[in-house]
Structures are given as structure tokens and as C-alpha cells.
Amino acid sequence: MKIITAVKRVVDYNVKVRVKADESGVDIGNVKMSMNPFDEIAVEAATRLKEAGKATEIIAVSCGLSQSQETLRTALAIGADRGVLVETDAELQPLAVAKLLKAVVEKEQPQLVILGKQAIDDDAGQTGQLLAALLDWPQATFASSIEINEGIATVTREVDGGLEVVSLRLPAIVTTDLRLNEPRYVTLPSIMKAKKKTVEVVRPSDFGIDPSPRLKTLKVVEPPVRKAGVMVPDVATLVEKLKTEAKVI
Ligand code: AMP
């Protein structure tokens, strides 16, 4: 069984981003970039399936600038066997990424595609669902466990009311939630080994896909600064303030 994992290069989760002065977006010049944390979980999940003898090959796919090769190298160091970079400097939105991933899926014919549940930069949470729709494949989003047996994926999903277990006939799409696993620490020998693995570079035009954005960002602004809180001496004063000032009770 071949597995594709989708890995996105995003601003590192430790970086506090700033809005650009012209409010056109977030300033990502000179900030640390890393693999989207949910995608690390996806690569770890695929690697564990391979280690358990359930998968034969893992292909990591990234769409974006040529620097996304670094993200692919991290995926290769975790356990992916080879990488595919769909290189473009277009601003990529989920629908374009889903179309590009569909093209790679049609070429590679995997049985399972694992994506993150959301990218921490755009917070869209759409790509896996769009890809499943475009391929007309079953999907299980927000997975906290994945088991594969005889062509069936049994996935536990984190839903509002608790946990839901679904069973999908492969080929299928799964998106990862935080509790699926804890990605391994990438060691120096695995980084060295990853350097020898291949990364194929293709372009959207090779698949006849126009990745240009369909949505226009009008402006990006900082969230309003929260007002300082007030300490109240007792419950009676709190209730009084909720009634007369906040007018919520
Ligand atoms: P989003 O729908 O943008 O929140 O992203 C959800 C998931 O789709 C991410 O966790 C990745 O697995 C995948 N994805 C999104 N954008 C890209 C990209 N440019 N390259 C590769 N995978 C991506």
C-alpha cells in the first residue's frame, strides 16, 4: 500500500506574526518556517503504518515555493521514502492545493492520503475535504487513531460530543488531529539519510492546472487589544456589575 502525505511549509508555531503596515497580509520575511505541525503528525502516522508492515511506500508532497524542499527533507527524515514538490510562486488557496494533490494522486495511485486537519497559517481546514470531493473518495477528518486491515481503514475521529469510529473502504482520505501521535525526534543520521532520498520537482502547468487564487484578501488587521480586567471585592459586587454595567443578567 502506497501512502501520500501532504506537507505544507508554514510560519513556525513559536513565531509571533505581525501584520504588514499596508494591511495586505502577515509579514513572513525573515521568520522561521517549519512543517505544519498537523502534517508532521501525518508523516509520523504514515511512518508507523509502514513500520507495522501495513504500507510499502510513503510519498511526501508539498506545493509552493522551492524552499518547500526543506519541508520535504524533514518529511523524508521522519520516514517518507521520496518527495514530490509541486513548485509554484502563486499564492495557494485550499482549492488549488486540492487540485494539485488530486493530480499527484492520479499519477501515483496511493491507497491512502493523509493530510493535516488544518494549516496553522491560513487555518482553512478545507484541503482534505476538497481533495476527497474532487476524487470522490471517502474521508475521515480529525483522526485520533488509524488502523488498516484488509482494505479497510478504521478511524477514530474527535468530534464535539466525544469520539466517533468510522470505517472506510480504501482508497481514502484521512486528516490528522493533535492526539493521533507524537512525532518522533528527527535524529542527525536520519537527516543525513534523507539527503540521499529523491525529490521530484513538477509544476502546476505539467498537470494543466491554473493555481491562481479564487479569493481576494481585502485586508488583514491585528485583533483588538483586550481591555484590562477589574478585580471585584465580592460576589455581590460582581452580580451588581453584571446587571448594571455589562447588562448580561
Ligand atoms: P488547510 O485546508 O489549508 O487548513 O490545510 C489542511 C492540510 O492540507 C494541511 O495540513 C496539509 O496537509 C495540506 N496542505 C495545505 N496546503 C498545502 C500545501 N501548499 N502543500 C502541501 N499540503 C498542503
DSSP string, 104-115: HHHHH--SEEEE
Give me ligand 1 centre to Cα 94, in Å: 7
Is 228 contained in some domain? no
Q: How many residues does the chain have?
A: 249
In angstroms, what CA-CA distances link 2 with 5, 57, 112, 138, 167?
10, 5, 7, 17, 19
According to the model, what pLDDT value does residue 145 have? Answer: 98
In short, whether 126's Cβ falls inside 6 Å of ligand 1 is: yes
Q: Which helix (H) or strand (E) holds 145?
A: strand 139-149
Q: What average pLDDT does range 175-194 have in this prediction?
A: 96
According to the model, what pLDDT value does residue 218 have? Answer: 94
Give me ligand 1 centre to Cα 111, in Å: 19
Whether 76 contacts 47, CB under 8 Å: no
Is 237 contained in some domain? no
Is 240 contained in some domain? no
Q: Provide the 3-class DSSP secondary structure of residue 200.
A: strand
Is 248 contained in some domain? no
pLDDT tens, 117-144?
A: 999 999 999 999 999 999 999 999 999 9
Which residue's alpha carbon is at the smallest distance from atom 10 of ligand 1? 116
| 216: CATH | 3.40.50.620
Which residue's alpha carbon is at the smallest distance from atom 14 of ligand 1? 8
Q: What is the pTM of this model?
A: 0.92
Which residue's alpha carbon is at the smallest distance from atom 19 of ligand 1? 63
Is 15 contained in some domain? yes
**What is the domain extent for residue 67?**
2-222
Phi, psi angles (nearest 5°) of residue 238: -60, -50
Number of domains in the chain: 1
Whether 63 contacts 97, CB under 8 Å: yes
Is 230 contained in some domain? no
Give me ligand 1 centre to Cα 229, in Å: 38
Is 97 contained in some domain? yes
In short, whether 65's Cβ falls inside 6 Å of ligand 1 is: no
According to the model, what pLDDT value does residue 227 have? Answer: 87
Please determine, for residue 213, whether its predicted confidence score (pLDDT) is greater than 90: yes
Which 8-state DSSP code applies to residue 139?
A: E
Is 104 contained in some domain? yes
